[in-house]
Every structure is written in structure tokens, then in C-alpha cells.
Structure 1
């Protein structure tokens, strides 16, 4: 056997990867994620609508199962999975997402609060009337190019002949590779007016265009608060639109008020409504406001209604400002008007988008009227042949009766060939030789039925011929004059506007930024108390002093601090958790506290508190750290003044645990005690100062399997006695030793 020759192409691996990735990226950008500027549709949307058109699921016909539509679209045009097709179909039917829904859905198609649509086997759909009239009309008139589908067994339109600027009316959202598009929806009537204005004045600028298109018109309504920024956004095609919900303040019985939200920002659609309710709960829990009594979501099919009840005497305006500032009731819609234009992605302003749309309208109108003109010219040719045939019908009948076959009869009608035909007279033969019908005319004559010779039928033929001549003149006029074509396009747009335009929902205005007047906190000394179950609370100093004995005996931790301070919890895992004192319950001595776990990231099931101190005192002193393995260090307390709720207070080696943390105020002594009853007394100054991220140095030399049991911190004049095997050891009388020594056995 001969060895088969193989051509091995040597190339750089990085070049292959680069080319493959670019090909993939362009495929996602062009064929999946971004809309075409001409019809404003992504491929999946275009294919779904075309498939519904092909299946005959028109607006005036019965609904069909979505599963049938999805399956047919996937099998013929879009081989990317049924979920993506169904999701696209659902979104095109949701009036709270699309300014102009393109699909008429029947069944559960989801809700504004984020509920998903029912499975495709339960729901039904059909095209909307506007979709049929403005998106799919004239497909039979060669107005757009058709291209082979993925397996070249079907043809699909490269772009739909959309007669309204869908990319602005419905907007678009899509994430491609390295780029994303986010185009807000606009008001149908305003966009039509903008297109008409451009067609009358192609040199129109963005500012002039905004006299017609005021700004975005979200299906959920709301208020755009930065009107002055819109000119820049619509000029460049990118920027940020600030949107607020619509709020009403209602009076209630007893002098109370309630805030009622009737419209939400477009960005709050879906799960963000639930998040908004949780954010309001959080404002109450974290004591950002004490004026909210209750919140309820009373939304229904009639619309949004979220009710927030307030205390008597509450400042409703200030609460509204707090909601704007701290929740999604005021949000930002990022605009990036990116679309595929001439086969490549391009970010463009509102005028270039309309320019692309208008150029497309001229293109499809030109192709439409050329197709119609060709058909009318064919009809004219046939009609003239039939009229001429009626005048010499006796001769034609004689030709047909004298012919042996259709071929001979046709040759006589077209070329005047009479040799193969028997005539009654020489005169008839001479007249037949003069006939000069065209191929189409001869075919029409041969196919003509005898009833067409009735007088009324001939009259109808003449009228139809006159109509054809008028149509030809009209179409030639439209094709010969851009002005005439513009009039036709504008007339059609005005008809769409008259039937489908709706009032604007979103208010465009300049609104000052929300300012919250926060109540000033009266600064005071408080005492933090934490019981053995981990419940913490604060009381004022006089209350503590009246109950000092009970407070000290019943509580695990007692710390004097300011109510504006933070508490720092050091745990045996080497972490420091911080809690704002204001977050702790404040009240009477016997009031129940709140678990420390709920107020910080501290987890009592995984770690234990080693030391607790207020940040103000901590930041002004040095802090001593000692671990089970005998590692020691001193850290500047200011290192713990951080914004994070949890940080690593020290670095621990594997198997080590934090044993002792103490604030050093002067010339303290440290007494290190091991579990084998070795004691080592050191001056605190012997321990070097390190950063909080350091492990530290060895304070006491330990034997194998020996650990530190306790570390005592004695003030200069302090006295302390501990018991070791029923023998008392006075810690203040121990001799001062050196760091990293064994110590003495007791």
C-alpha cells in the first residue's frame, strides 16, 4: 500500500488561538447578541417572527402552541437550543419589557415581579397586528435578500423589511464578546415624528431631533431626572440615564401618611422589586429610619402599587429622599447604543440610527416598487395581447382549428408562420402571416377561456388595462423621484402612528439630587453588656452604676464606650469583627439584647471571643497578641481602624490559635504559663512591635506537645496570685526573665 501524502501546516499556536477566538467573537457579535440597526432585531427574534409568519400564525387567526413555534424555528433556522428561542418569544410578548410587543401571548407569560413564564407546552402565541403590517409585510415582493439557513435546506430573510425604527421603539439589550448593547425604548409616535423630520431635513442635528424624540419612554413609566444629560447621550450613543419611580403621598386617618409607589424604574423589573422591599426592611432594621411602620406590595394586573405606611408626624418627603438614595427606587440605566451596521458593530447616536433606518426604507421601497412595476408591465403586455386578440378573434379561431398542435399555433401567432396550418381562404392566410404577438401574449391567448369573449368581460379587460396603465405611471413616478417615494413612506408612517401611537408614560425632567436630612445623633457614654449566651446591648452610664454589681456578675463582657464608637471582637481564629455601637439595642437594664452573630460576621459555632474592646481606646494604645504556640507580638492599635467589618487581626501558623489579646497602657509585665506549669515573666517592652499581618516572635520556648495555657498582663504595681496543684504562686514575685527561654517550673 502506498502511504497517503499528508500536508502538515506548521504555524504558531498563539496565532491559531487568536484567529479562532476572533472568529468566535465575531460570530457572537453579529449572529447572536447584537441587533441589526435596520430592523432592530437579533437573529433569534428575526427567525422566530419569520417562522410564525411562515406557519401562518397571523393576528387574525387562532393561537398556536409555543412549543410548535419553538420547535419549528429551531429545526429550520436557529439551531441554538429551545430555551433561548422561547425566552426571546416570551420577552417579545411582555408589555412591561417592550414598548411595542411584537407577539400576542395567550397564557402565563410571566410578570413584572420576576415570575417566569409557564413551560412552552402550556402557552400559546400569535403575531400582533402591527408585526404583520409593519415587520413582515412585502416579503413576497423581493424587498430583502434571502440567505440559506444553517443546513442550506431552507431560505431565511437576511433582515426583516421593518417599516418603523424598531431599534428605538423597543430598544435592545445584549452581551456579546468584549462589548454590550443597551438601548432604551422610546415612544412610538415620537419616533415616527423624528423619522418624518429627518426625511424632510437630512441635515437635522441631535438637538433638533430631540424636539420630536424627547427621551426614553419606558413601559414601566417613571421619571427621568437628568434631562440636561440626554443631549450628550443621544449625540454620542452612550451615557447614564437616571430614573426614579413615581411616588404619591396619601393622607390616612389619624393624621398619618403613607407613601404609595405607582410606577417603578425600568431597571427594577423582576427580582429587583423583591430586593427593593428587602432594602426597605434593612433601612428599618439598621435604624436608618424609625418612621416606617409597614410595607406591603399590593401590585396587581392593573399596575404597580407598593404601600409604605409611616408613623404619625413622620417627614414623608425626607423618607422619599431616603428611598431614592438608599434603594433602587432611583436607579441608573446605562445607555450604549451599539448595533450592527453594514456588517460591523458600531456605537451611534440617535440621528445616525434614524439615518440608517431611513436609508433602509428607501432601499426596500425601491425594491418593492420595482417588483410591482415589473408585474404591472407583464400584465400590460398580456392585456394588450388579449385586447388585440379580441379584435381578430375569428382569425385566431381559424388558426387554432387549422393547427395540428399548440407549437404550430404559437409559431403562427408569434412569428406569422402559416405553412403548417390549414386556412379556409388565402386572405386569412395573409392576415395570419402579419400577426406579431409576443411569447407571453401568445401563451395568454392560447390559455384564454371562451367566456372572456362576452361583451362585459371585454369591457372589464379594458378597465383593468386602464388601471394597469395608471399603476405603471404611479410606480414609475415613485421610482423616478425621491420626493415622491418619501411621500409614500411618510404616508404609511402616519397611518401606523394614527393606529398604534400611545401617550408617553415616562416623564422627562431635571430633578435635584435627593438630599436626606439625617437626624443628628446625641453623642454620649454608654456601657456595652454581653451575657454568656452572646446577647449584647447598651445602657447609659447611670443605669450601669445603679446596677453595677448585677451587671458585672451576670455579663461576660462589660465595656465603657461612646455610642458613636465601634466595638472590636478578637477571636481565637485570628480575626477581628467590628460592630457599630449604634447597631446594638439601647434601653433599660433588664431589656433583652441581640445576638452578636446577627450584628457582625462573628460565627459562635466556628470561633470564640478572646477579647472585646472599643475602637477608640484600641486606636490610642499598643495591643499585645499571644498564641497557643507561644508566638507573641505588639501591634499599633491604629491598624485596626478600618472600614471592613471583618479583617485578619494576626497571622497564625498551621494548628495555632490566638490565646490572648490585651491593650498595653504602660510598663506592664507579661507572665506566660504553659500547660506543663512552666512560668516565664517578661517585660512588655521585650516583645517587638510588628504589623498586624506578621506572625510575631517566640515568647517562651516550649517542649514537644507543650502549649501555652494562659498569658497574664500585670500593671507595674499589680499583684496577682494563681493556684498550681494546690500551691499558690505570686505572679508579681516571679523573677523577670528573657524572651525565648524555658522559664521556671512550679
Structure 2
């Protein structure tokens, strides 16, 4: 039996090591792009698999399901959804500065519609991907590594000739870090790379003469141009982007705003949210200039139309849209990528430096391989030329040989022992032959038609071309400027074929400032029915419909339209509602659920008290809970800016049953589930802070709990039903707080 060894170690050390291993796996192998090719592993593997499958730009499309399945089975064993999502993004021109995959079918839309299932869509490589990302893979210019099960080989990095990390940007969330790199203009980035190659001491500021700033596929306007230098210097910062707004004049002196470009961050659900935000501005009466809004976007581009009233203040309204909606948004930049096997935040110059180093490394390997091939050709050509000069002797050797081995030995080493010659002179000349192994093999495989005069001339011409290539490749390998010129020529060719005009405008714009229209302060009446639908109406409207309003609504409160309402719930919370957030209108309007304008959740909480915030300022609030705890709190403690706060502290399994305004000359009556009543003076209720539990108001028997609490004015007649009996609370005997109470039978 084999001896086993138990290694004792701290559990925390094992967890620490395991977590670090996991984190590095996510960082290096999944979430972050490599600075050399600007691709994440899933993108690299998908493109390489398409290349292996032969799905070129000039060949028919293939089903995405086939691509995804092949990629998952060979290179990326992390689930089909991640592979397909990566494939879809590489085909969406509104997300990438330059698409890498040519998609056929429904690949989603800028408005957030998802792509069709992979069994319906088809794809093939884009032309730029074939020519600038996957070319020369056969020339051993990048290292290949084993795949996950060591049955295949995959490139460690693709031989990308363009600075893809800048052109297409990147987004990814790793463990403890994230990358967010904006897209840039291909032509500008190539010009910056060329400038760096000509002068590697160039500064970031000088590079920005070529790269003006980000160039998003959705266009838009970058408005903080002065901040870009610091962002590109440090590799992190915030870019402010706005949508492009145009004004169109209509008949009758009316105008409309047309949004033709959106911020890059608004892609997807952001467009629908923008439409909702504009509607909310109208509903909350932040503006009265907007008549209608419609999304008329199509395949031709974005077109969101906002119809305006005659005489609308267009500049003020535009600034409001920038300030109150995502028409102006922030793109957080963090240029984090894997460099030399480690995650690193890099500035613009550093990224270009890594790219150029990678280009020189690839060019060196490429031309060294080409040089070796040409030298091999030169060796064989020289052997064939030499053989043509002594072809009669070679034929005599072949005819006199008993085997190929003997003939080859003679050609390489001059061994003539086993060969019959016609003359001694021939034998002597044969013993002087010294062809190389490759030359001898080529001579033995040479066909007779190669001895035709024209063929010999072609061989001589081919030899001259080979010598010229060798000289050219040696010049490139031994001279920095020559290699740089080759790389620059390649970049110029790619720029001429694939570059496009800049879409995003980069400028310094003024801060969006708008004058908020002041709401005319007036007294309104808040109405909320038993279903939680709330609204406000004019005081006169309420007066005319008082009887119906009192009958139909659970809460009726007079308040100012600029104020707030406080909603106290059985969970001990207080939610604030701005009166302006509630619909104001006709008496018969339905209103909206109060959940919609506050943090109150009708499925989890129950309202026990609702009041005007301003009226509560000069009052004291009384709290009573199910477990019999009572207290009073100064109303000023609830004058807060937060939408939700804890109104009182509760013990386990306790809840608030009553909240109300309390006065010193009142009496408190606590009523329990089992029919016990306790009446005591309000003066006995201790004043506490809102964060306190309070004091015991009543001793409860086992399984009993407080059902209701009443605040009685002196001399007021309040009657409640106990079973079938009507009980007058004012006639109850006055007791002391923390008493047992009296059983009242129905």
C-alpha cells in the first residue's frame, strides 16, 4: 500500500490561495483584454475558430450555433451564452468602433433588443479581421499554446496589426478591478502610432494632436476636452458626453427638438429610460413646453422627436434635458489591460508603446522565417543550377548506381565505390562532387523537362529573385528604419481601406444651466382611497365635492403643493412623498398608487398614519406597538431630507399599531386582542428619541397583544364596539401606565 502524507495547514491560508488563484484566472483568462491584440480570450478564440473553419469574408455565412459549438468544444469551455454574446457584440456596429464579425440576421438593435437565438443567425469574418487580425498565422509570428484539454493548439495572442485596444475599446468586470476603454478613430490612432515610431520620446500631449479624443460609434459630443490630457496621461478619469440636438422649425411658428445622436452610455435600455424621464419632467410640471415625444429611430439612425409649444424657451429646455436626463452622461475611463501577464492601468502612450513593440516582435519573427525559407530555396536553386552544368555526369552516376542511397552518397560525399562509370575521368569528376543533402534530394527528384533551355533560364531568373528577397529581408531585420517603414506601409494600406470619418465631436462646452420654473405655491387637498391611489385637488374642488370625497377616501389632508407628506408604516418606517410628485387635477381622476412616488411598499407594509410634514413640525407624535411599548417623539426629529428613515426602533416580532399627534391634556387608551383596556394620562408617556424603543405602556398576558391605541380629548365621547356591545372610552376608569388593564366583555 502506498504511503499517504497528510499536510496540515491553516484553513484561512488554503482559502486565501484558492481565492487568489480564482481571481487571477478571471482577470487573465476571462475579463480583461491583452494589450497586444486588444481582445479578451473569448473574442480571440471565437475569431480563431472562425478562421480555422474557413468562414472568410468572401465565403458564405455559417450558422452561429456551429461557430459557438466548435469554439466551446475546442477552446472555450465556459458555456455557450458567453461565446454567443461576445460574437454578437463583435458584429454590432453601434457598440464597436470597427466590427470584426459580419453578421447576417437579427443581431439586436441600439434600443436594447437582443439578438435572435444562435440557431437562427449566421456570421462570417469581416474583411478587416481577415486581413489585419488573422493574416500570417501560418508564418509562426505568434506563440501557440495547448487548449484546455491539450488536444488542440490555439494562439496565445492574435497577430493583430492595428491598435485594436484603442480602436474598439473594451469593457470587462474582473475580481476587484474593471476595465472601461472608449473606442477611437482608426485613422487617428494609426497616425499616432506612426508618430510614436518616428519619435519614441513623443509626449501624450503631442500624441493628442493626432488622437483628438474618443470616437464613439453612436457619435455624440465630448464636452470636457480639457480633461482628456489628464485622462490619457493616467489612463483613468471621466468623459462627459452629450447627445446631438437639432432644432427643426415647423408650421405655425412651432419648433421641435430632434435628437440625432445619443451618448454611447445610452445604448440599449437607456433610450427607453430617456423617453420615460422626459415624460416624468412633463408630469411633474418641471416643464410645460413639451407637447409630445416620439421615437422615430430606424436603420438609418437615431431620431427622437420632441414637439414643443409655440414660444418655448429652446435653450433652457435643452439644458434641462442635459441636466435631468441621460442626454448628458459620464463615461468612466479605466484603461486596464493585461501587459506581460499582469493587469496594468496604462496611459495612451504606454498602450501605443506596447502595440509598437508587439508589431516589431511579429515583424522580426515573420521576416526571419521568410529569410530562412528563401535561404533554403537559394540552396536548392544553386544545387540545380550546378547540376545543369554537369548534367551528363549526373545521368551517368544515376545509370551506374544500384540504389538511390548510392547515388545520393556520391552526390553528397563523392563516394563512387558501388557505381559503374564509363570512364575513369567520369569517376574522378564524380568523386569531387559535394552537393548538400537538400541539393542532392532536389536533383534526384528533378524532372527531365527542367533541362529545357527556357526552364533553365526561368530557374536562373528565380534564383536572382531569391537573392533579391534575401537581401531585402536581411535589410529589414538588420535596420530599424527599414522594419519601421514596412510596418508603416502596412498601416497606411489598412488606413486607406478601412478608416472612416470621425463621428464624435470633441469640444469644451459650457456647463448646462437652466432656470427651473418656480411652482406657484397654493393650498391643495391630498386624497387617498383605501386601495392606495392618491392625488391632489384644489381646495375649492374639494369643498364642492366634500361629501363624496369623505365617503370615498381613507386619508384627506390639507397641505401646500410645495410641501411633503409623511407616511408612517407598521414596520416602524417613515416614507416621505413630495406633493408635487402626485398628480394634480380633477376630482374624478383616478390618481396613482402612492408606491410609485415613494419607497413605500404596499405588499410588505401597512400605513398606520399619514400627515403633512410641516404641520408635524410643532407637534409631538405618539407611538404604540403590538407588544405594548409606547413613547412620544418631537416632530422636529422627522424633518429630514431622506425619502425613508426609521421612525422608531422595534423589538423582535413587534410592529407599530398606532401613530398620532399627542397633547398633554389627552388620555391614552390601549386595547388588546383579548379585550383588555387600559386608560392613563398622556403625561405618563415618556418622551424619547425616534431611535428608542420606548417604555412599556401595558402589561400583557400570555399570547395577548395591543390591537389599537386611542388618544382622547378631555370630555370627548369616543365609542368602540366590543363584540356586540358599544363601549364608551371616556367612561373607562383612569389607571396608571404599565398596568394590567381591565377586561371588557362584549
> TM-score surpassing 0.5?
yes
Write the mapping of 1:625-640 to structure 2, written as runs, cut at 5 A. 625-627=623-625, 630-640=628-638
In the other structure, the counterpart of 1:347 is 345
Write the mapping of 1:239-254 to structure 2, written as runs, cut at 5 A. 239-254=237-252
Greater Cα offset, 68-77 or 88-97: 68-77
1:460-507 deviation digits (Å, cap 9, x = unpaired): 111111111111111111111101111111111111111111001111
Preserved CA contact (<8 Å) 1:666 1:715: no
1:162-212 deviation digits (Å, cap 9, x = unpaired): 111111111111112221111111100001001100000000110000001
Quick one: which of 267, 290, 293 aligns to 1:292?
Answer: 290
Quick one: which of 512, 520, 523 aligns to 1:522?
Answer: 520
1:576-596 deviation digits (Å, cap 9, x = unpaired): 333222233445666665554
In the other structure, the counterpart of 1:642 is 640
Give the secondary structure class of the aligned counterpart of 1:713: strand
Q: Is 1:23 equivalent to 2:21 in the alignment?
A: yes
Write the mapping of 1:76-225 to structure 2, written as runs, cut at 5 A. 76-225=74-223
Q: CA deviation at 1:255?
A: 2.4
In the other structure, the counterpart of 1:52 is 50
Write the mapping of 1:306-455 to structure 2, written as runs, cut at 5 A. 306-455=304-453
* Aligned-partner Cα distance in 2 for 1:333–1:488: 37
Q: CA deviation at 1:126?
A: 1.6
In the other structure, the counterpart of 1:620 is 618
* Aligned-partner Cα distance in 1 for 2:420–2:718: 146
Distance change (3 Å), C-alpha of 1:211 and 1:403? same
TM-score using structure 1 length: 0.92
1:325-378 deviation digits (Å, cap 9, x = unpaired): 222222111111111111111111010111111111111111111111111111
Give the secondary structure class of the aligned counterpart of 1:19: helix
Greater Cα offset, 268-277 or 601-610: 601-610
Q: CA deviation at 1:418?
A: 2.2
Q: CA deviation at 1:692?
A: 2.5
1:122-161 deviation digits (Å, cap 9, x = unpaired): 2222212211211111122221122222222222222111
Q: CA deviation at 1:603?
A: 5.8
Greater Cα offset, 150-159 or 655-664: 655-664
In the other structure, the counterpart of 2:484 is 486
Write the mapping of 1:64-83 to structure 2, written as runs, cut at 5 A. 64-83=62-81
Preserved CA contact (<8 Å) 1:39 1:167: yes
1:668-692 deviation digits (Å, cap 9, x = unpaired): 3445566888765533222101222
Distance change (3 Å), C-alpha of 1:721 and 1:59? closer
Q: CA deviation at 1:645?
A: 3.5
In the other structure, the counterpart of 2:717 is 720
Preserved CA contact (<8 Å) 1:719 1:730: no
Greater Cα offset, 481-490 or 43-52: 43-52
Greater Cα offset, 278-287 or 432-441: 278-287
Distance change (3 Å), C-alpha of 1:513 and 1:388? same
* Aligned-partner Cα distance in 2 for 1:596–1:736: 40
* Aligned-partner Cα distance in 2 for 1:159–1:605: 54
Give the secondary structure class of the aligned counterpart of 1:461: helix
Write the mapping of 1:581-660 to structure 2, written as runs, cut at 5 A. 581-587=579-585, 593-602=591-600, 609-627=607-625, 630-652=628-650, 658-660=656-658
* Aligned-partner Cα distance in 2 for 1:676–1:139: 85
Give the secondary structure class of the aligned counterpart of 1:46: helix
Q: CA deviation at 1:111?
A: 1.6
Greater Cα offset, 201-210 or 104-113: 104-113
1:91-125 deviation digits (Å, cap 9, x = unpaired): 11111111111111222222222222222222222
Distance change (3 Å), C-alpha of 1:618 and 1:410? same
* Aligned-partner Cα distance in 2 for 1:64–1:744: 84
* Aligned-partner Cα distance in 2 for 1:327–1:645: 21
Preserved CA contact (<8 Å) 2:286 2:517: no
* Aligned-partner Cα distance in 2 for 1:485–1:515: 54
Greater Cα offset, 114-123 or 627-636: 627-636
* Aligned-partner Cα distance in 1 for 2:742–2:427: 145
* Aligned-partner Cα distance in 2 for 1:554–1:153: 76
Preserved CA contact (<8 Å) 1:625 1:660: yes
Q: CA deviation at 1:69?
A: 2.0
Distance change (3 Å), C-alpha of 1:79 and 1:554? closer
* Aligned-partner Cα distance in 2 for 1:591–1:460: 96
* Aligned-partner Cα distance in 2 for 1:70–1:674: 67
Write the mapping of 1:458-477 to structure 2, written as runs, cut at 5 A. 458-477=456-475
* Aligned-partner Cα distance in 2 for 1:677–1:694: 28
1:287-337 deviation digits (Å, cap 9, x = unpaired): 333333322222111111122222333323222222222222221111111
Preserved CA contact (<8 Å) 1:523 1:562: yes
Distance change (3 Å), C-alpha of 1:703 and 1:89? closer
* Aligned-partner Cα distance in 2 for 1:727–1:462: 125
Distance change (3 Å), C-alpha of 1:249 and 1:23? same
* Aligned-partner Cα distance in 2 for 1:531–1:73: 59
* Aligned-partner Cα distance in 1 for 2:662–2:711: 8
Q: CA deviation at 1:726?
A: 8.2
Preserved CA contact (<8 Å) 2:364 2:477: yes
In the other structure, the counterpart of 1:303 is 301
* Aligned-partner Cα distance in 2 for 1:689–1:302: 68
Q: CA deviation at 1:631?
A: 3.3
Distance change (3 Å), C-alpha of 1:153 and 1:675? closer
* Aligned-partner Cα distance in 2 for 1:399–1:727: 135
Distance change (3 Å), C-alpha of 1:669 and 1:23? closer
* Aligned-partner Cα distance in 1 for 2:244–2:111: 17
User: Could you list the runs of 5+ residues in structure 1 that have no partner in the other structure?
Assistant: none
Give the secondary structure class of the aligned counterpart of 1:389: helix
Preserved CA contact (<8 Å) 1:399 1:409: yes
Give the secondary structure class of the aligned counterpart of 1:92: helix
* Aligned-partner Cα distance in 2 for 1:358–1:70: 32
* Aligned-partner Cα distance in 2 for 1:329–1:586: 28
TM-score using structure 2 length: 0.92
* Aligned-partner Cα distance in 1 for 2:155–2:536: 72
